[in-house]
C-alpha cells in the first residue's frame, strides 16, 4: 500500500462537484491540494464561494490549472474534451473526469479513459492513467443491476429514480429554484436520459443479450441523494436474490446489501450505496440509494484516485451519514 503524498488540482472548482471534491481532498491524509481553478471566481478565496471551508484553507481560485499528480475535471458537458484538446498536461499527470465526455470510450490528445465504476472493474482502474467517472444515476442504477447481469439473469428492467436539486448543477434554472421545487415533483427525460448509454455499455459487457432498460427520472424537492427502484422478472426466490447480491458485494467497501428497508438519510454525506430487495410474485424490486454528489460524483472520483495511486480505497472517505 502506497503511503506517499501526492499533489492534486481541481478544474471547475466553484460548482457543486468542484466544492465536494475540494472538501474531500483537503481532508485526505495523502493529498496536497495545490490549485483550484475557476475562470468565474479567479482571485477570490475558496472560502468566499465554499463558505463551509472557512478555517480549513487559505487557497485562492486560480484562472488556469497547472500540473499535478492528479487533476479532477469538474466541468460542464463538453468542456473537459475541449480543455484536454487545447491544453497539454504532463504525460505523468493522471486525469479524473467527472463529466460525461469520456464515458463511452472517447479520447483527447491520445488520452484513453477507463470507466471508473470500482465495483465493475477495480483492477482496470488501478492501472489507469485516465478515468471517466460514472454519472450519478448511472452509478446508482448499475450497482442495483450488476449482480443480475454478472449471473446472466437480467431481464427487461423498469427503473424509476428520484434525485435532489444538486444533481442539476449550481446554475439557477426554473426547475431548481426553491419556489418551484418546494412541495413539487416532476419527471424529465423520460426513457431518454443520457446515462442510459453508459449503463447499457457496462451491463452488456457481462450479459451480451442485454434486455431493454426503461428509465424514468424524477426531480425531488430535496437537495441531495438518489433513490432508485428497478423492477424486473426473476425466477430467484428472495433469499436466493439476497445471497447473490451479498456474495457479489461482500468485498466492496462502499456498497452494502441490507435485508431491512433503506432510506436516503442512511447514505447522504457518505460514499456508500445501499441496496435492498423485495419480491412479489415473479417480480423482483431492487432499491439502490446513493448521495449524488459523493458516490455519484466526487466521492467516487476520490475512490478512483485511491485505486489509481494504490492508496487505501477508503482513505478520505470514511464519512458520517446525516441520519438526523
Rg (CA), the chain: 19
**CB under 8 Å to 106, separation ≥6 — which residues?**
81, 113
Pair 173, 281 in one domain: yes
Q: Which residues of the chain register pLDDT less than 70?
A: 167-176
Give, in order, the Cα–Cα distances in Å from 92 to each of 63, 84, 160: 22, 14, 41
Q: How many CA atoms within 13 Å lie on the side-chain side of 240?
A: 8
CATH at 54: 3.40.50.720
Pair 141, 129 in one domain: no
Q: Is residue 324 one of the residues assigned to a domain?
A: no
CATH at 216: 3.30.360.10
pLDDT of residue 178: 75
Torsion (CA) 206, 213, 287, 154 in degrees, nearest 10: -40
- For residue 268, what are the domain limits? 136-290
Q: Under a CB-based contact definition with an 8 Å cutoff, are residues 22 and 53 in contact?
A: yes
Q: Is residue 1 one of the residues assigned to a domain?
A: no
Q: Under a CB-based contact definition with an 8 Å cutoff, are residues 317 and 24 in contact?
A: yes
| Nearest by Cα to 246 from 277, 271, 203 | 277
- The DSSP secondary structure of 106-127, one letter per residue, reads -EETTEE-EE--HHHHHHHHHT
> In the β-sheet with 114-115, what is the strand arrangement from edge to edge?
61-62, 31-37, 6-11, 70-73, 94-97, 130-132, 114-115
Q: Is residue 302 one of the residues assigned to a domain?
A: yes
Active-site residue (options: 46, 59, 136, 162): 136
Q: Is residue 315 one of the residues assigned to a domain?
A: no
Q: Is residue 322 one of the residues assigned to a domain?
A: no
- The alpha-helical segments, DSSP class H, found in the chain are 16-26, 46-49, 79-86, 118-126, 136-150, 178-181, 196-204, 238-249, 298-308
The predicted-structure confidence for 223-241, as pLDDT tens digits, reads as follows 999 999 999 999 999 999 9
**CB under 8 Å to 51, separation ≥6 — which residues?**
none
Pair 107, 18 in one domain: yes
pLDDT of residue 267: 98
**Hunting for cell 447480491 — which residue is that?**
245
Residue 240, phi-psi category: left (phi > 0), alpha (psi -120 to 50), beta (remainder): alpha
Pair 73, 140 in one domain: no
Pair 266, 147 in one domain: yes
In the chain, DSSP assigns E strands to 6-11, 31-37, 61-62, 70-73, 94-97, 107-108, 111-112, 114-115, 130-132, 157-163, 186-187, 213-219, 226-233, 255-257, 273-280, 283-290
Q: Does 74 participate in catalysis according to the annotation?
A: no
**CB under 8 Å to 191, separation ≥6 — which residues?**
214, 215, 216
Pair 127, 149 in one domain: no
Pair 112, 91 in one domain: yes
Pair 141, 286 in one domain: yes
DSSP state of 210: P
- The three grid cell numbers given for residue 315, joined into one nine-digit string: 482513505
Q: Is residue 321 one of the residues assigned to a domain?
A: no
pLDDT of residue 167: 63
Q: Is residue 105 one of the residues assigned to a domain?
A: yes
Number of domains in the chain: 2
The predicted-structure confidence for 276-286, as pLDDT tens digits, reads as follows 999 999 999 99
Pair 114, 173 in one domain: no
Pair 101, 174 in one domain: no
| Nearest by Cα to 137 from 174, 162, 103, 116 | 162
Pair 212, 111 in one domain: no
Q: Is residue 210 one of the residues assigned to a domain?
A: yes
Each as own residue / partner, the long-range contacts of residues 63-68 (CB below 8 Å, 24 or more positions apart, any chain) are 63/37, 63/38, 63/39, 64/37, 65/9, 65/11, 65/35, 65/37, 65/89, 66/9, 66/34, 66/35, 67/93, 68/6, 68/7, 68/8, 68/9, 68/34, 68/35, 68/93
pLDDT of residue 173: 65
pLDDT of residue 179: 75
Pair 276, 153 in one domain: yes
Which residues are registered as beta bridge partners of 231? 158, 285
Amino acid at each position: 500500500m502506497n503511503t506517499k503524498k501526492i499533489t492534486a488540482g481541481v478544474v471547475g472548482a466553484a460548482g457543486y462537484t468542484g466544492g465536494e471534491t475540494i472538501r474531500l481532498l483537503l481532508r485526505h491524509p495523502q493529498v496536497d491540494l495545490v490549485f483550484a481553478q475557476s475562470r468565474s471566481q479567479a482571485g477570490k478565496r475558496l472560502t468566499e464561494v465554499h463558505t463551509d471551508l472557512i478555517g480549513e484553507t487559505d487557497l485562492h481560485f486560480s484562472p488556469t490549472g497547472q500540473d499535478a499528480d492528479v487533476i479532477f475535471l469538474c466541468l460542464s458537458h463538453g468542456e473537459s474534451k475541449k480543455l484536454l484538446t487545447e491544453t497539454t498536461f504532463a504525460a505523468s499527470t493522471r486525469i479524473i473526469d467527472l463529466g460525461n465526455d469520456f464515458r463511452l470510450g472517447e479520447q483527447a490528445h491520445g488520452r484513453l479513459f477507463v470507466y471508473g465504476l470500482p465495483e465493475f472493474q477495480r483492477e482496470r482502474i488501478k492501472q489507469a492513467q485516465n478515468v471517466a467517472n460514472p454519472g450519478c444515476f448511472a452509478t446508482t442504477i448499475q450497482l442495483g443491476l450488476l449482480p443480475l447481469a454478472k449471473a446472466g439473469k437480467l431481464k427487461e428492467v423498469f427503473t424509476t429514480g428520484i434525485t435532489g436539486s444538486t444533481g442539476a448543477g449550481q446554475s439557477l434554472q426554473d426547475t431548481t429554484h426553491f419556489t418551484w421545487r418546494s412541495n413539487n415533483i416532476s419527471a424529465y427525460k423520460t426513457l431518454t436520459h443520457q446515462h442510459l448509454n453508459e449503463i447499457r455499455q457496462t451491463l452488456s459487457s457481462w450479459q451480451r443479450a442485454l434486455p431493454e432498460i426503461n428509465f424514468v427520472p424524477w426531480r425531488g424537492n430535496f437537495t441531495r441523494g438518489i433513490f432508485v427502484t428497478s423492477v424486473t422478472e426473476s425466477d430467484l426466490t428472495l433469499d436466493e436474490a439476497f445471497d447473490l447480491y451479498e456474495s457479489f458485494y461482500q468485498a466492496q467497501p462502499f456498497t452494502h446489501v441490507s435485508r431491512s428497508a433503506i432510506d436516503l438519510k442512511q447514505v447522504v454525506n457518505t460514499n456508500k450505496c445501499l441496496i435492498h430487495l423485495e419480491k412479489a410474485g415473479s417480480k423482483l424490486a431492487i432499491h439502490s440509494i446513493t448521495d449524488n454528489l459523493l458516490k455519484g460524483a466526487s466521492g467516487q472520483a476520490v475512490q478512483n484516485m485511491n485505486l489509481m495511486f494504490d492508496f487505501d480505497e477508503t482513505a478520505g472517505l470514511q464519512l458520517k451519514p446525516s441520519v438526523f
